Amino acid sequence: MTSGRKKNSRKPKRRLTPMTKIICIIALCASVFMLWGVLKEVITTVNLQRQLTEVQAELQKVTDENTYLNSEKTKLQDPDYVENYARGKYMLSKDGEQIFHLPEDTDK
């Protein structure tokens, strides 16, 4: 014989005590503080990775330039190379030699 009423089968709600609330707030604050620290470390790591990439590119550029300059230094120690370089760049001539300057072809 049901009378249309439902039995109240719900459990009574447990209320949080003030001490439990304080502990939850402290735990939440500690979690936020730790997440903030981790986030700062991630941002720092990303920035350092970017700087490392830039510095490595600059190092490669300087290394290439150093290699080029060392090869030029070696070439400039050869008297034949210096003579040909001076003749080609500064139009120097040997005794009794004439230099004719021809215009470059621009018809290409």
What's the pLDDT tens digit per position in 13-52?
A: 778 788 999 999 999 999 999 999 999 999 999 999 999 9
| Over residues 69-91, mean pLDDT | 89
Q: What is the DSSP letter of 107?
A: -
Looking at per-residue pLDDT, the higher value among 75 and 5 belongs to: 75
Model-wide pTM > 0.75: no
E runs forming strands in the chain: none
Task: Please give the C-alpha separations between residue 22 and each of 5, 18, 35, 95, in angstroms, as whole numbers.
Answer: 40, 6, 20, 100
The domains of the chain are located at: 19-90
